[in-house]
Amino acid sequence: MQQKKIETINPATGKVIASYDNDDSEAVAKKIRLAREAFSSWKKLELGERADYMRRLGRVMRKNREEYARVITEEMGKPVRQSVAEIEKCAWVCDYYAEHAEAFLRDQIVPTEFRKSFVSFEPLGVIAAIMPWNFPFWQVMRFAVPALTAGNVGVLKHSSVCLGSSLKLQEAFSDAGFPENVFQTVIGDYRAGEALVQSDIDAVSVTGSVNTGKRVAELASKDLKKFVLELGGSDPFIVLEDADLKQTAYMATQSRLLNTGQSCISAKRFIVVKSIAEKFTKLFVEDTQAEVLGDPLDPKTTIGPLVRDSQRQALAKQVEDAKTKGGKVLVGGKPVNREGYFYEPTIISNVGHEMSVLREEVFGPAAPIIVVENEEQAIREANNSEFGLGASIWTNNIERGIKLARQIESGLVSVNEMVKSDPRLPFGGVKKSGIGRELSEFGIKEFVNIKSVIVKDIQSKLLVE
């Protein structure tokens, strides 16, 4: 692998923050050897000991919250208040698994005719992670905390956008007292990621685009390595005629514009019943106009820049495609004329399936509104996507919401709440949104050997002549 400097850039200014050497395949292989050596002792610790390390890691997160949040904001443009909340969530996942991992992983006794039968959950070994830039700490921690608590060791290849975050994460594990090489980072571009997947690892976790997931799955499958994929989303936000429209419009704004719309679980298709579409749209536009676009390090800012100019250009292309095909821009609709990679929060009505804002994942602050006649059409529209990550339904009839939630093709459905990942609940998708689950008891069991053990008494036979 050719050596090459990688630069990180502040998207609010377009200026270079730092440059890094790209790990070559030899450097990657060395880190994997060190990880495997660390695994031999880490896996032998009592689960309670590993839980204590996680508690310390949670304390490190809280202690350095402001420092870590600033790194996130400077590298990928997240408004700093949201960056602080991201670090707090990282501390929460540490506490959660420290408290619950023992119950999740204790032997399960199975009644049989044998003396004893049970299922044990044992670590797989070295787990690689290919992670994206949009939640630079959280998406790493939701992989690493359950995997390491279970007794695995981890090697992270983070996005080249947020290499400072990657190194801060490694530093956090060190500050929490973790043994050397239990958690390491690989610095590099896609070539370092491919070298990592093809190295002597046991499994890999990926959060990223569909194309990234396909490539990692292809490489991992050649050696029958397990993989978990959390990929793209085009989450429907269904507004029924009995919804609280003021609250729903506010939550629509938050769900679409959190992280400047750069989230796999942002609401991306707003499906609204015709009878209340006009009123909802008016409130949605008003709430969107009330958002504050500006310097992401200013606590008042709610809309920051897009991560790169290429991302802004991709969003502009999708919006222009909608406009040329009959879409009506109700607010926003163009790049902001200022330093950095800013784009106006945008709402588009009169959209159709020939438009890329419905056919593709929109990774930025643009919201298409689809008007439907009734709930049956809303469900058909919601499921008319190659993605199936999250969805939300807004109604004052809870039983109705639950009934419709069962009809949605996705890994997560919220009724009267925006879609969020939560350590207590499994997270992942169907269709092209991924394979496998993160978080909760289901997530910690993705990277363990589920081993059946049976024990039978030795019975001696009396031989009779």
Sign of the CA dihedral running 10, 13, 17, 23: positive
162 part of the active site: no
Q: 90, 94, 162, 264: which is the annotated catalytic residue?
A: 264
- Please write down the long-range contacts of 218-223, taking CB distance under 8 Å and 24 or more positions apart: 219/194, 222/198, 223/198
Tell me if 245 sits within 8 A of 429, measured CB to CB. no
344 is catalytic: no
What are the backbone angles phi and psi of residue 375, rounded to the nearest 5°? -65, -35
Distance, CA of 321 to CA of 181 (rounded, Å): 48
Find the DSSP H helices in 106-209.
Answer: 138-149, 163-175, 190-197
Provide the β-strand partners of residue 183: 154
Q: Residue 263: what are its φ and ψ, rounded to 5°?
A: -145, 140
Q: Give me 166's structure tokens.
A: 């990657």
**What is the C-alpha to C-alpha distance for residues 236 and 47, in angstroms, rounded to an integer?**
40
* Contacts (Cβ under 8 Å, ≥6 apart) of 15: 9
| Cα 347 to Cα 367: distance, rounded to the nearest angstrom | 5
Q: Which residue in this structure is represented by tokens 């919401």?
A: 401
> Active site residue: 230, 291, 375, 409, which one?
230
Could you give the residue numbers annotated as active site? Answer: 230, 264
